[in-house]
Structure 1
């Protein structure tokens, strides 16, 4: 194992267990573009490379299946797991958020939803949160965007314009960007040193590194509201982290896909070729 990869694996072992999250990363990143199904033995093999024991992996996979994230199939004595059909939309949305460009990057106005402090319609608040709104002093705010008719009919929405200095300050407080910046800084510190070695990694090291890369980036990105440029401070560190992740991903992809071609097992034998979505990941990043 490459020394940089060994350092990443050792770092993983120092953290609280996130085996279920790692399996979700593997399925969403590597397996979904190739049909969404793979043998348990393949998952066990990859997790063994991360020093995660088979008992821990089996327990995590069983829990994911119980929650609908995966569905199990049996063939003789072998087990195969596929992305759960009821959860596939969530995998797709997460992939779009992680790998795709920010929506409406040039927006410089806000939509404000005025809430009644006594309003208990949690379903409305929940839907607004899913649409990218954040609560701020009895108001829910987001970069300007059209609302679905069902939401628009039940809330009072106004559009506001802030000057170029005020908008980033408000966004930093409302979306807690300082904490998010700290996570991005840690990501750069962790994965920056492997950038030069990445193109030369052996296929097994490449798929392990790719899994850890997207595992860490995914956990940060799912907290990131992907705000338009006008809402962000100058020199936003998230842009540097995204460029690093895209660069590493491009460098790791050929060898990691070769490992999947050679080693991953499905009910039909090997994995099918990846669909077109794989080639479009990080397409907005100039490498």
Structure 2
């Protein structure tokens, strides 16, 4: 009896785990695929190409059609037809948002230089939910209901952190104690990143022993991995390197994801060459942003 390909087994195992955790959605996988694989290659792909990949990821035709209808109605994607064939691309506004997110997803590091200024922002009143979301998006860490730690000088804070009536204090000599280190660890998604690292260490080991048996498996695994990594990477707080706890798992995990991505890239791009089409034929060659991901030379 033929031994199942280790990459195929990995895909199945990750799909089962994500389904059990209710973290596998057709619409999210579609956005991941369009942003990660199709964005650097012209941005548009046929419905058949998308359906083929989603089927390998355990997403049936009906679920894909429902997701496409929802994404189109909500303005996430644009649909076009050429004869009997349909084609999809991210809408312009979403494409810009995805491109901005890529700078965090595919960055070589989430660490700021150790000399990055830091500032304490003391709000005049406890933050509302909307304000808290805005300051977190601006890269600040909420320490207490009215105290924020920002990684910028007091004179150069982003507009979202210039709260009315707030008191600002530069804190160049900030030395984190146990409580702050715990908050930093939580803000850097340490628990979830550890789970992801353990899940993908066997993938790296399998790839070190040989390439995937099928290019479709390479594309499926690449899409699945970025789907998982993106969800975490976009929530990781970027902090100065000297504030990162010694056991922070993010740098090692980012390096692991980058290494697997590089190993999957040739076979997954070969699958796109052979299977993905546009209204004018095969996908165009990838642009430079693909080559620069994860700080690749």
Give the equivalent residue in structure 1 for 2:141: 134
Q: Which residue of 1 aligns with 2:42?
A: 35
Deviations 1:232-272 (A, max 9, x none): 10142111111110110111101111111111011111111
- Contact in 2 for aligned 1:210/1:252 (Cα 8 Å): yes
Query: Which shows bigger deviation, 104-113 or 56-65?
Result: 104-113
The reply to whether residue 205 of structure 1 matches residue 208 of structure 2 is no
Matches within 5 A, 1:65-214: 65-100=72-107, 101-102=109-110, 104-107=112-115, 109-117=117-125, 125-137=132-144, 138-144=146-152, 146-148=156-158, 152=162, 154=164, 155-166=166-177, 169-173=179-183, 176-177=186-187, 180-198=189-207, 199-201=210-212, 202-214=214-226
Deviation of the 1:41 alpha carbon = 1.2
**Shift, 1:162, TM fit:** 4.2
TM-score of the pair, normalised by structure 2: 0.85
How far has the Cα of 1:136 moved from its partner? 2.3
Matching of residues 271-282 of structure 1 within 5 Å? 271-282=283-294
Unaligned 5+ residue runs, structure 1?
none
Partner of residue 11 from structure 2, selected from 8, 31, 45: 8
Partner SS state of residue 95, structure 1:
helix
Distance 1:107 1:65, change over 3 A: farther
2:92 is paired with a residue whose SS is: coil
TM-score normalised according to structure 1 size: 0.88
SS of 2:88's equivalent in the other structure is strand
The answer as to whether partners of 1:136 and 1:174 remain within 8 angstroms in 2 is no
Question: Aligned residues, how many?
Answer: 282
Unaligned stretches of 5+ residues in structure 2:
none
Segment of structure 1 superposing worse, 233-242 or 59-68: 59-68
> Is the Cα contact below 8 Å between 1:134 and 1:175 reproduced in 2?
no
The whole-number CA distance in structure 1 between the counterparts of 2:196 and 2:92 is 32
Superposed, 1:175-254 pairs within 5 Å as 176-177=186-187, 180-198=189-207, 199-201=210-212, 202-254=214-266
Contact conserved, 1:134 with 1:141, CA < 8 A, in 2?
A: yes
- Inter-CA distance 2–118: structure 2 relative to 1 (3 Å threshold): closer
Root mean square deviation, CA, Å: 2.5
